[in-house]
Structure 1
Amino acid sequence: MVELLSVHKIWNHAPHNAFTDLLHTRGAWWCTFREAEGHGHGPASIRILRSVDGAEWNSVAELVEPGVDLRDPKLCVMPDGRLMLLTCANFIDDAGNYLTRSPRVSFSTDGATWTKPAKCLAEDHWLWRVTWHGSIGYSVSKLGIGSNPRRGFLYRTTDGLAWDFVTEFLLPNDTWTASETTVRILADGDMVALIRPDWIGVSPPPYVDWTFTRIDASLGGPNFIVLPDDTMWASARGKGPDGQAATLLAHMTRDSYTTALVLPSGGDCSYAGMVWHDDLLWMSYYSSHEGRSSIYLAQLSIDD
């Protein structure tokens, strides 16, 4: 049983606040997201908030690359204890037309002072989210503009700067739609991938032999976490009971995705950060159901 315990708005200072991630470390909460004039391409910065209790939030950092659209920031803790922020720099011309892109990575020891975003991988790649397993971090890069054809490549790193190719996601039936992807590693060592728009992948180590299942869902901004009992819970933009866009929470297995709850949301929304803390699921996400696209924080209980 899933129960929504609370949800509240934590930030809406920019005209458009979106694409969140959430982390709990060093006795505090950290939430990151993009600030811009709108959802589409245009100059944008990355904001980082900090909170001790999840109720009161303060801005501690802003990452800017002049004239560049920084999008989809993701936070993680590296094996050496440093904080790492992964984002993607999208380059646009004076008319706002997309030119090219490449991933960016920054590091911090305190969450407030960050290194200058450094380029990694080649042009047109977009590393989505890093999951660390011991000393190795894994991430999937989407390559290609538009929705089809688009290719997904699994990479690994030990320092966040140099990335080694592992494999390409070759979806069944000559399908070329792999996009935003979150990977996690289960207790038995298998890696699971939740792939936009509608795939779940599974592979044993060394993560080169994948089996893919197409699910009955259309995902935007997919994320999932593995709870201490090895169950998986996912979030993405999908459709609510009224058929309109909403931020969803779903129970997930190696080959299924079942909606369990629709969070207060609508319109331009989703891209959740997910953390299991003090036996509760904490989720950051963005939504425009109350007007301006804003950042929200929800607490949920999950019982067997």
Structure 2
Amino acid sequence: MGLREYLLKRLVHSVFVMLFVVTVVFAAVRSIPGDPARLMLGGDVDTATLEALRAELGLNQPLYIQYFRWLRRLLTGDLGESIRTGEPVLGSIVQVAGPTLSIAALGMVIALVIAIPTGIISAVKRYEIEDYLSTTIAFFGISMPAFWIGIVLVLVIGVNVESIPTFGYTPIDEGIGPWFRSILLPSFAVGFPYGGILMRMMRSSMLEVLNEDYMRTARAKGLSSNLVLFKHGLQNALIPVVTLAGIFLAVVLGGVVAVEIVFGIRGLGRLLIGSINRRDFPLIQGTVLLIAFVFVLANIVVDLLYTMINPRIKYGGGD
């Protein structure tokens, strides 16, 4: 199967996945207790005023009509308007998506930078001091919540390193340096725990690869240890790690919520929590839909990376 055919197949599959997500999100949001109209008007309001607002917001219509109206608008790229502010949902999301996506992306880079080298060292130096040290760091990362790591970083770095901010976000259009410094600590707080998980996966995968027959054959042919390790071993050991990293990207987006609060950053997490508290259905749906889209896109990218890591892997599982 060629690249074009494979991408077409994955895109068609992604459309059905997103349709399923859209349906589940719509149903889940409508199951949240509370009436948006009553929350907007307050508890002491007469029935006529309440029903008039519900009719204005389209909340008095049957759920299936609300669903198909939203789906029709979605197909044109229109996510609707916020119930609370009346602003376009897409615009509200774009305003706060930058910090969250920046932190999540850099967090995944940090996680991989931590996981791949330490996982390789831990596998090659099995049961030696390097292995125990790497494993200890990994378990520390796994056991510590991201928000707790963020608090520690604020207390330690904020006091001792003035050049690295511990509060707020600087947009990238104000300079790459200030932008990078503003997301460095929250990204590390997000990436370190997942780096520990990926490190354990990298270690297990590398240990399995090192015991394969083709690795022993390569060493028997007199190839250097580094060539055997990085040319033959790393190609196959990275596959499960990259797969897990693609899955973690969506999880990281969810994990950014608490970290944004610690560092005083207004991102998708705080927008989602606020919209849930206000029962702002269109805003909730749009935010969750964006996270689902990033997850689907990340999995397509991961599949494309397989052939870059190991050219022997063919699209569609062919030989």
Same fold (TM over 0.5): no
Alignment TM-score, normalising by the size of structure 2: 0.21
Structure label with greater radius of gyration: 2
Specify which structure has the higher proportion of helix: 2
Greater RCO (Cα-Cα under 8 Å, separation 6 or more): 2
TM-score calculated relative to the size of structure 1: 0.22
